[in-house]
């Protein structure tokens, strides 16, 4: 198959009609398509990213069981935005991204019904200080990473698992609705980029990530230890008794030396902990590797989705034991109370930016099974009010109540003063912000690892309520880390 002879969709005359004559917008996707039966998403990523400093792979498993329809793979962004102390940009990263994406008026076409380009990246938990200034505190910064990183891409791969096809997509961008002759040149440039991408995918060689001999390491070191974490729980229970908060979510971070290539860690993680949001982001100086079960804020055609997870138990050794453990979780007064509080918080967050008449709890306290745990989950949705955008929805919901507490702002303040350190990516957001102004999909950065300078950082927390038991809460954080720990252990073999 010659990539230079692959047909291109849509043709130039259709793009001209959309941009020049109908003036629907200024950016249109164009693509070539090839079969995916001999290429996996990981193979596609390795072929595309072999000489790139920045790259990404986004995958998904629905409800912990079925593969979602699309994976997204990209490298060589046309622009990288990094924010925070010492970076080119400072301040609210969402305001910076919103200004950047305002340049694009995306034209949707039926042949590309999903994400085709925009920004992929993370927003650190600590960015709450820009959305809610009351929460700002002077905190230690042991990781020293950007507060946010966005990879802006206009050329990427859409891997369609359902139809077993790959679309190599680029875009025709005409910022000033330029004349037809110039548009033809831009169109041919986009076609060339899509065909080059297809050619790289059709390579017979798949480069392996460079991997030195794996050095055995220990279990890692906690930044607070068992005694410190249990002290967090005790202190927070006192705040609950005093009426300061109803619930709060402290965490502990494990630092584990590791010389496994970060993409090899991801390859293990996607096998041992398949999740709704699986991602590998190579952000240059750091890599973000995750398998998160929980939506933070998704917007699709201006409908806002928020997914609440609260209440956790371990998986059983058989289907019967799973059923017994799940029934016990559903019957637990503590877990039900914690979950209902966080669903109420999610409804409040969504209601702040949506028409109240449209805000509904679509799913309440459903049991969902994942590789190592069973969760209680709920989903809240609403339609954005006129004049508000996906960025307003993101700010309203960030950070999720399930990683902060209730009332949210007070809980964030108290936990920050206890932890005394920036959380970094953990409990923030990872995901995509589309060229299409009414679309985005972000998850909560839990079950997520940050890799920097030969060390893997893992972090987990849990919701503390009045009747929480210190040791049980500590053990819950370890259970939540098991999938990531297992991936690291498997990578050493």
Non-local (6+) Cβ contacts of 40 within 8 A are none
Cβ-contact 314, 479 below 8 angstroms: yes
Q: Which two tokens stand for residue 444?
A: 């909560």
DSSP, collapsed to helix, strand or coil, labels residue 262 as helix
- Distances 241 to 55, 236, 245, 289, 303 between C-alpha atoms, Å: 48, 9, 8, 38, 38
CA distance 108 to 115: 10
DSSP class of residue 19 equals I
- Distances 106 to 71, 114, 150, 171, 186 between C-alpha atoms, Å: 21, 12, 19, 10, 16
Per the DSSP assignment, residues forming a β-bridge with 168 are 32, 157
CA distance 409 to 405: 8
CA distance 356 to 387: 15
CA distance 183 to 189: 10
Q: Which two tokens stand for residue 115?
A: 């994400």
Catalytic machinery residues: 375, 402, 426, 447, 463
Q: Which two tokens stand for residue 484?
A: 């990531």
- Distances 328 to 336, 398, 464 between C-alpha atoms, Å: 11, 31, 19
CA distance 306 to 294: 9
Which residue is associated with the tokens 């019957």? Answer: 331
The 3 state secondary structure assigned to 149-173 is: EEEEECCEEEEECCCCEEEEEEEEE
Per the DSSP assignment, residues forming a β-bridge with 457 are 255, 450
CA distance 383 to 358: 6
Cβ-contact 56, 282 below 8 angstroms: yes
The gap from C-alpha 411 to its chain's centroid, in whole angstroms, comes to 23
Do strands 373-383 and 303-314 pair parallel, antiparallel, or not at all (unpaired)? Answer: antiparallel
Cβ-contact 409, 135 below 8 angstroms: yes
Non-local (6+) Cβ contacts of 464 within 8 A are 232, 233, 236, 237, 240, 247, 248, 249, 250, 405, 473
CA distance 90 to 412: 22
Closest CA to 276 of 57, 56, 58, 62: 62
Cβ-contact 98, 389 below 8 angstroms: yes
């Amino acid at each position: 198959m010659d990539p230079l002879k692959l047909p291109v969709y849509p043709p130039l005359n259709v793009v001209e009609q959309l941009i020049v004559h109908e003036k629907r917008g200024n950016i249109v996707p164009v693509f070539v398509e090839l079969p995916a039966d001999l290429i996996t998403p990981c193979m596609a990523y390795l072929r595309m990213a072999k000489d790139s400093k920045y790259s990404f792979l986004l995958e998904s498993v629905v409800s912990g069981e079925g593969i979602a329809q699309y994976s997204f793979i990209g490298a060589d962004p046309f622009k990288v935005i990094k924010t925070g102390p010492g970076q080119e940009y400072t301040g609210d990263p969402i305001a910076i991204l919103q200004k950047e994406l305002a340049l694009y008026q995306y034209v949707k076409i039926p042949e590309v019904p999903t994400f085709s380009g925009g920004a992929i990246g993370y927003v650190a938990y600590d960015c709450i200080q820009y959305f809610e200034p009351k929460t700002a505190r002077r905190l230690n910064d042991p990781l020293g990473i950007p507060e946010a990183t966005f990879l802006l891409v206009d050329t990427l791969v859409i891997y369609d698992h359902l139809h077993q096809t790959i679309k190599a997509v680029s875009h025709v961008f005409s910022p000033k609705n330029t004349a037809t002759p110039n548009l033809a040149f831009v169109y041919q440039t986009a076609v060339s980029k899509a065909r080059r991408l297809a050619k790289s995918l059709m390579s017979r060689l798949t480069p392996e990530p460079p991997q030195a001999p794996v050095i055995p390491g220990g279990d890692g070191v906690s930044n607070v230890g068992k005694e410190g974490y249990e002290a967090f729980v005790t202190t927070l229970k006192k705040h609950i008794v005093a009426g300061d908060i109803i619930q709060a979510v402290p965490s502990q971070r494990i630092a584990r030396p590791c010389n496994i290539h970060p993409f090899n860690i991801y390859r293990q993680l996607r096998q041992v902990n398949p999740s709704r949001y699986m991602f590998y982001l190579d952000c240059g100086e750091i890599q973000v590797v995750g398998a998160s079960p929980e939506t933070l804020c998704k917007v699709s055609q201006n409908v806002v989705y928020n997914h609440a997870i609260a209440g956790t138990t371990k998986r059983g050794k058989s289907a019967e034991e799973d059923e017994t453990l799940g029934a016990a979780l559903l019957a637990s007064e503590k877990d039900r109370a914690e979950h209902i509080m966080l669903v109420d918080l999610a409804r409040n967050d969504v209601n702040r930016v949506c028409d109240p008449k449209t805000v509904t709890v679509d799913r309440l306290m459903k049991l969902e099974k994942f590789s190592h745990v069973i969760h209680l989950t709920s989903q809240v949705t609403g339609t954005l009010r006129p004049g508000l955008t996906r960025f307003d929805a993101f700010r309203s919901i960030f950070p999720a109540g399930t990683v902060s507490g209730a009332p949210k702002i007070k809980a964030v303040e108290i936990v920050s003063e206890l932890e005394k350190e920036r959380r970094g990516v953990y409990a923030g957001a990872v995901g995509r912000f589309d060229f299409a102004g009414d679309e985005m999909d972000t998850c909560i950065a839990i079950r997520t690892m940050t890799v920097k300078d030969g060390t893997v950082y893992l972090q987990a927390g849990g919701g503390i309520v009045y009747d929480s038991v210190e040791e049980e809460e500590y053990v819950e954080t370890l259970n939540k880390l098991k999938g990531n720990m297992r991936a690291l252990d498997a990578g050493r073999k």
